[in-house]
């Protein structure tokens, strides 16, 4: 089938749904496609909260400065100004739509502390903020009545000579491929955590949108900037929110020391994530860890506060690690969490391709630069989701109906149908997708982890070549069409390998240490040479590297200490 | 440790009947059922289909029946099950698409049917709505619902009464009814008083037992029933009136007196509609006696009723307190 809409949003997390609601409000015909039901999107995992300078005495400048400093001066300051200025309205909008944000005794919005922030400006719903926001956003999507294509897996864009006019996707339930033609496509496909093993991310976070855009010719940016969260559980890699430290939890090494005193004497456990993760990894590397972990100690917070504000992490630690955080400290370590990099966009979500927009975790505006501050990402999704939805609508209004790109959709659909058939027809012997992904993930953490150096990165480059070769022999054991999750996992593997290469290439290119990117062979930040972004353009022979300047408005780079 | 998974499978393309397939695995002790199923899917049998994503009981994807009861696979620790063989089936009350994947479309439709979004009245304030901190905190208990469908899967009412709106949608409805910012209460209460509404819950406790997020849908339903009664809305509902009439009469006379029951449970207008049935029964000698025989032991029955009522009240209260406790 060929479907048609003015604007098509891919991804029904917070960013995608916000974009779709905006497009609907702008009066265009909009639809939303998602490989899982909207409320299953990974936005639901956000525990901690969402930032805004809404409180008495807080200013957008202060929020902006904290974000710039957190980004290690790699964030684009025009975009960060927009983020900080629009934050209060965005959070209030969510409140008006129904989010049951926690209140203080007077019935007004209450806040909690979060890492890297000079003020308590994080608004929250217990430790289920993402879940609460996602539910409400979905409620609003239902209210306005946006057409949903749920459990559809987008496999590629309909693109010709730098112009994007829709997508090809598979209805997972029937296994049938369809094209959806649109004047503008907004990608809001979320993160790429599964490139790394272990990771805090859901199994669906395979970076599809980033890889699809990259293959179609859009540029990726800041791909060397990968955030490792300081408190992930040993074993499963599940995340324990920064809200725990925000409420006052300590980090201890094997000697029982609050080691953050050494690394960030002022902010201690609430320094930026890159700083805390590096400190932990240093303690572990220097022999003061416990089985590759340090300890997160919540005991002094008391049962009452833990149950009231940190119930979800109490449950997670108990279920996944068998530790009752009321009674004992829980072992944690830095774990892969969030890509600061993604599809390069301007402040209206426009990518380097005509008709293609991106927002949320898959995009790189760049708000987060070298390191994202906790609770700035939910904010990123709603602000830039809305802006991308608006810009895509405007773009669409200037064009004739999407029907005019008809032959393009037909051709793309045909090519894709053949490609998938060929995949299914591969003999049932050969590589297992899961095995290739595992080898990629474990080695990405090893060589593109908290600490990196030229030797390991080069080794990773070679390894990725061989993994890509192995991937061509991966087979699809399930030959059926209905709900073939085996097939989608093979398609996802191909996306992830492209992104792994992007991370490895940019990490090798940046010969300095900035934000989450720490090169042991280049330990200093080098503003003279590296106050710039690395962008990648897909070429069959390997990524083509470009450099672009960082936009500075009012904040000069300074030495970064917490 | 060694586990034996017995999985109920079904492939619509092969048009075969459902069948059981067993997988013997050796897995680490900390493994969840989801970990084990993923291992099957990745290494043993790629044709096995299931939904999963977050692995940490927050996305609601992996609902299935484990040893006969709905749960999240990612919340089920194999070592806690204490059975040699773990039976795994798709959720109930929903048609199977393939293997452990069920059709959720009807589930979402029911959710949409309650207008699941905040409907405030009046001007939108410049800042936030100012509301008691506790009222927002109280909502956390239902906002916790991850729409996994476990409660719907095992709901006893739904298995015989497909129009029942069901535990998930009613938990959601409660979230709005209890939200001081929502102004559509009357409309919401009227709707839940209607067909498929809260009176169709059979009180089986299943949803409370299986909910992985302690949402306790039945408690929410009971709370809303109480609101209906308190607000006088329930008076207009046959289900509510019949239920009350039945217990009142049996509790007092020790047996059902059909004539009284009819008089007490329908309106005058509806009573007129029964005239024809009444006449036919009379001519066929089926009319119940107008003055019922009292049974000798009515007093004992009254005592049984009293005892049951108070035990139930006590149990319900305890249960509610436990729920509140775990929710704070
Ligand atoms: C454990 C955890 C805790 C976090 N805590 C916080 C926090 O406290 N504060 C904060 O600000 N941020 C937090 N974050 C980050 C934040 O939650 C995410 O960055 C953000 O929610 C991403 O939203 P999104 O809309 O961009 O993507 P997602 O919510 O991930 O949605 C992606 C969507 O894209 C769809 N999709 C993907 N690929 C395809 C395809 N091929 N075809 C069709 N559809 C597709 C998916 O179905 C999904 O609907 C946290 C992240 C994690 C992992
Ligand atoms: S208590 Fe009511 S809603 Fe809950 S499972 Fe039983 S019948 Fe269904
Ligand atoms: S109420 Fe509980 S069981 Fe029912 S859908 Fe919500 S979380 Fe799942
Ligand atoms: S995988 Fe998300 S709830 Fe189980």
- Beta pairing partners, A229: A335
Res. B276 pLDDT band, cuts 50 70 90: low
Name the nearest CA neighbour of A116 among A230, A39, A200.
Answer: A230
Average pLDDT (B138-147) is 96
- B69 or B243, which is more confident? B69
Predicted local distance difference test score (pLDDT) of residue B328: 32
Q: Describe chain A by its helix, strand, coil percentages, rounded to 5.
A: 40, 20, 35
Predicted local distance difference test score (pLDDT) of residue A129: 96
Strand arrangement, sheet containing A532-537: A363-364, A342-344, A220-221, A532-537, A544-549
Match 């393009």 to its residue by tokens. Answer: A408
Measured from the Cβ of residue A256, the count of other Cβ atoms closer than 10 Å reads 11
At residue B309, does pLDDT exceed 70? no
Name the nearest CA neighbour of A88 among A118, A119, A51, A133.
Answer: A51
Average pLDDT (B98-119) is 97
Res. B327 pLDDT band, cuts 50 70 90: very low
CB–CB of A367/A75 below 8 Å?
yes
Superfamily of domain covering B105-230: Alpha-helical ferredoxin (1.10.1060.10)
Cis status of the peptide bond prior to B110, with omega within 30 of 0: no
CB–CB of B59/A202 below 8 Å?
yes
Nearest CA to ligand 2 atom 2: B201
Of all residues in chain B, the percent with pLDDT exceeding 70 is: 82
Name the nearest CA neighbour of A449 among A244, A259, A195.
Answer: A195
Mutate to test the interface with A, among B56, B106, B109, B135 (most CBs of A within 10 A): B56
Name the nearest CA neighbour of A351 among A492, A175, A535.
Answer: A535
At residue B273, does pLDDT exceed 70? no
Prediction ipTM score: 0.93
Q: For B76, which residue in chain A has the nearest alpha carbon?
A: A319
Q: What angle do CA A321, A201, A440 make, to 5 degrees?
A: 100
Q: Does domain B2-102 have CATH number 3.10.20.30?
A: yes
Token pair for residue B23?
């997988």
Atom of ligand 3 nearest to the CA of B217: 1
Contact B143 A131 (CB under 8 A): yes
Token pair for residue B109?
């439709």
At residue B33, does pLDDT exceed 90? yes
Q: Sort A206 into a burial class: Cβ within 10 Å, 0-12 / 13-18 / 19+.
A: buried
Residues in B touching A483 (Cβ below 8 Å): 49, 97-99, 101
Residue intervals in chain B for CATH 3.10.20.30 = 2-102
- A236 or B65, which is more confident? B65
Q: Is the CB of B166 under 6 A from ligand 3?
A: no
CB–CB of A208/A191 below 8 Å?
no
Predicted local distance difference test score (pLDDT) of residue B261: 72
Res. B243 pLDDT band, cuts 50 70 90: low
Predicted local distance difference test score (pLDDT) of residue A137: 98
Q: Sort B186 into a burial class: Cβ within 10 Å, 0-12 / 13-18 / 19+.
A: exposed
Res. B325 pLDDT band, cuts 50 70 90: very low
CB–CB of A388/A348 below 8 Å?
yes
Residues with Cβ within 8 Å of residue B142, at least 6 apart in sequence: B171, B172, B174, B175, B178, B215, B220
Contact B53 A202 (CB under 8 A): yes
Q: How far is the CA of A531 from the centre of ligand 2 (A)?
A: 61
Those of residues 498-517 in A touching chain B at CB distance below 8 A are: none
Average pLDDT (B98-115) is 97
Token pair for residue A536?
């990648």
| Average pLDDT of the residues of chain B | 87
pLDDT tens, residue by residue, A368-399: 999 999 999 999 999 999 999 999 999 999 99
Residue intervals in chain B for CATH 1.10.1060.10 = 105-230
At residue B270, does pLDDT exceed 70? no
At residue B169, does pLDDT exceed 70? yes
Tell me the backbone φ, ψ of residue B50, rounded to 5 degrees.
-155, 160
**CA-based radius of gyration for chain B:** 24
Extract the residue ranges of chain A whose pLDDT is less than 50: none
Match 């910012």 to its residue by tokens. Answer: B181
**pTM for the full predicted model:** 0.91
């Amino acid at each position: 089938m060929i479907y048609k809409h003015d604007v098509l949003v891919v991804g029904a997390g917070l960013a995608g749904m916000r974009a779709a609601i905006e497009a609907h409000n702008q009066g265009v015909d909009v639809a939303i496609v998602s490989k899982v039901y909207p409320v299953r999107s990974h936005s639901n995992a956000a525990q901690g909260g969402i930032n805004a300078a809404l409180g008495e005495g807080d200013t957008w400048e202060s929020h902006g400065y904290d974000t710039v400093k957190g980004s290690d001066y790699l964030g684009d300051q025009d975009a960060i100004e927009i983020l900080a200025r629009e934050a209060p309205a965005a959070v209030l909008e969510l409140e008006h739509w129904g989010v049951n944000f926690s209140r203080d005794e007077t019935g007004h919005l209450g806040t909690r502390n979060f890492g890297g922030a000079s003020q308590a400006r994080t608004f929250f719903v217990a430790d289920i903020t993402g879940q609460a926001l996602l539910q409400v956003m979905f409620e609003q999507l239902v209210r306005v009545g946006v057409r949903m294509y749920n459990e559809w897996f987008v496999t590629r864009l309909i693109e010709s000579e730098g112009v994007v006019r829709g997508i090809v996707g598979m209805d997972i339930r029937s296994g049938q491929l369809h094209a959806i033609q649109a004047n503008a496509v907004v990608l809001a496909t979320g993160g790429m955590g599964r490139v790394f093993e272990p990771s805090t991310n859901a199994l669906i976070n395979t970076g599809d949108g980033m890889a699809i855009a990259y293959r179609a010719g859009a540029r990726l940016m800041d791909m060397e900037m990968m955030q490792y969260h300081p408190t992930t559980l040993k074993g499963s890699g599940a995340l324990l929110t920064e809200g725990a430290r925000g409420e006052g939890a300590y980090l201890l090494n094997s000697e029982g020391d609050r080691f953050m005193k050494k690394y960030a004497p002022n902010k201690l456990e609430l320094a930026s994530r890159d700083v805390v993760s590096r400190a932990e990894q240093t303690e572990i590397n220097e022999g003061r860890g416990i089985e590759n972990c340090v300890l997160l100690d919540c005991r002094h917070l008391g049962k009452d506060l833990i149950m009231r504000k940190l119930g979800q992490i109490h449950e997670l630690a108990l279920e996944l690690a068998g530790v009752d955080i009321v009674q004992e400290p829980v072992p944690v370590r830095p774990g892969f969490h969030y890509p600061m990099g993604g599809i390069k966009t301007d402040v209206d979500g426009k990518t380097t391709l005509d008709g293609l927009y991106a927002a949320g975790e898959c995009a790189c505006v760049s708000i987060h630069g070298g390191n994202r501050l906790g609770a700035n990402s939910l904010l990123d999704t709603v602000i830039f989701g809305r802006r991308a939805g608006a810009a895509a609508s405007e773009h669409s209004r200037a064009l004739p109906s999407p029907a005019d790109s008809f032959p393009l959709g037909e051709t793309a659909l045909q090519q894709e149908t053949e490609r998938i058939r060929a995949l299914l027809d591969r003999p049932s012997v050969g590589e297992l997708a899961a095995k290739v992904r595992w080898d990629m993930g474990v080695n990405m953490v090893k060589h593109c982890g908290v600490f990196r150096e030229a030797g390991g990165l080069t080794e990773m480059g070679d390894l990725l070549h061989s993994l890509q070769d192995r991937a061509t022999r991966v087979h699809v054991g399930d030959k059926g069409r209905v709900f073939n999750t085996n097939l989608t996992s093979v398609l996802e593997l191909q996306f992830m390998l492209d992104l792994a290469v992007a991370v490895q290439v940019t990490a090798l290119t940046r010969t300095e240490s900035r934000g989450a990117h720490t090169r042991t062979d280049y330990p200093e930040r080098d503003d003279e040479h590296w106050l710039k972004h690395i962008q990648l353009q897909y070429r069959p022979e390997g990524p083509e590297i470009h450099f672009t300047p960082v936009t500075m408005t009012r904040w000069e780079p300074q030495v970064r200490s917490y | 440790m060694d586990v034996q998974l017995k999985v109920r499978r079904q492939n619509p393309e092969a048009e075969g009947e459902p069948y059981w397939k067993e997988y013997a695995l050796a897995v680490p002790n900390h493994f969840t059922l989801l970990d084990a199923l993923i291992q099957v899917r990745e290494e043993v049998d790629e044709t096995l289909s299931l939904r999963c994503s977050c692995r940490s009981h927050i996305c609601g994807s992996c609902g299935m029946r484990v040893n006969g009861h709905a749960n999240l696979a990612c919340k089920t620790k194999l070592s806690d099950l204490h059975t040699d063989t773990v039976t795994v089936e798709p959720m109930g009350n929903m048609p199977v698409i393939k293997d452990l994947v069920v059709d959720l479309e009807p589930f979402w439709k029911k959710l949409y049917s309650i207008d699941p979004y905040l409907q405030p009245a009046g001007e939108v304030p410049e800042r936030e709505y100012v509301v008691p901190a506790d009222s927002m905190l109280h909502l956390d208990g239902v906002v916790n619902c991850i729409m996994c469908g476990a409660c719907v899967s095992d709901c006893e009412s739904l298995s015989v009464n497909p129009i029942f709106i069901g535990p998930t949608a009613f938990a959601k409805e409660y979230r709005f009814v209890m939200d001081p910012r929502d102004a559509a209460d009357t409309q919401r209460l009227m709707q839940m008083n209607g067909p498929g509404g809260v009176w169709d819950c059979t009180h089986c406790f299943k949803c409370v037992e299986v909910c992985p997020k302690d949402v306790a849908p039945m408690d929410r339903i009971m709370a809303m029933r109480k609101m209906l009664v308190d607000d006088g809305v329930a008076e207009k509902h046959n289900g509510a009136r019949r239920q009350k009439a039945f217990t009142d009469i049996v509790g007092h006379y020790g047996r059902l007196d059909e004539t009284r029951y009819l008089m007490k449970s329908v309106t005058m207008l509806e009573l007129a509609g029964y005239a024809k049935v009444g006449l036919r029964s009379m001519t066929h000698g089926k009319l119940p006696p107008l003055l019922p025989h009292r049974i000798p032991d009515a007093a004992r029955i009254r005592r049984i009723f009293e005892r049951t009522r108070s035990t139930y009240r006590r149990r319900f209260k305890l249960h509610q307190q436990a729920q509140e406790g775990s929710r704070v």
